[in-house]
Amino acid sequence: ELDKTNNSLKEENDRLRYINSLSVEFSMDPLIVTLVDQYSRQYLNHSAPEWRLLKTPEFLTYVMLSLIYAESKGDAGAVGDGGKARGLTQIWVSTARDYGNVSADQLLDPETNIAYSYKHFHELLKKYRGNLAMVLYAWNRGPGTVDRLLLYGQSPENGYGKRVYQASLDNNRRFALGE
């Protein structure tokens, strides 16, 4: 029994160190990092094959934190696109409403924003069969635009995937330099 307790304490301590390191790396509130990590673990336990393509909850957490950093730099109160895009992930109000009854103001709450964003991310993963680049293009441009471009043989690439990737590189560099 004592060994189980010690193992649980060690696991919790490791988890807190992991959350703290990501919080420092992305210059984000540990609460936001914790929420993203919890949703990543929840969705990767999902049996759908599109989630298993992302391999580990740590990878998905990193992708989502990079997306949040690229979209809002971790500002839960961010409002963009003439008021259409809200919160950490800059999810459009109309998009979030596809998944439930939510107000524009509710999307400024970190937990609400993250919950609706994971639902949308899940749908995009299913639609694009786990292709993360396509998911990121559709996140930024909208799936309708991406589908139209593909239909006409054009590339949906608009630099957004690179921007999310660059955000993660910038954070890694800042973290490594201790900034």
- Over the stretch 83-93, which tens digit does the pLDDT of each residue have? 999 999 999 99
Residue type, 122: H
As a whole number of angstroms, the distance between CA 134 and CA 4 comes to 43
Give yes or no for a contact between 19 and 37, defined as CB atoms under 8 angstroms apart.
Answer: yes
Q: Is 104 or 24 the better-scoring residue by pLDDT?
A: 104
Which residue reads 């990501």 in tokens? 22
Query: What is the average pLDDT across 72-90?
Result: 94
> Looking at the 3D structure of the chain, how many domains does it have?
1
- pLDDT reading at 166 higher than 80: no
- Give the span between the Cα atoms of 14 and 109, in whole angstroms: 27
Split at pLDDT 50, 70, 90, the class of 97 is very high
Instruction: Write the CATH number for 34.
Output: 1.10.530.10
CA dihedral 52, 56, 59, 62 (to 10 degrees): 110
Q: Residue 10 pLDDT > 90, yes or no?
A: no
- What pTM was estimated for this model as a whole? 0.80
Looking at residue 168, its pLDDT comes to 62
3-class SS of residue 54: coil
Phi, psi of 79 (to 5 degrees): -130, 130
Q: Which two tokens stand for residue 148?
A: 């139209």
Domain membership of residue 110 as a residue range: 2-177
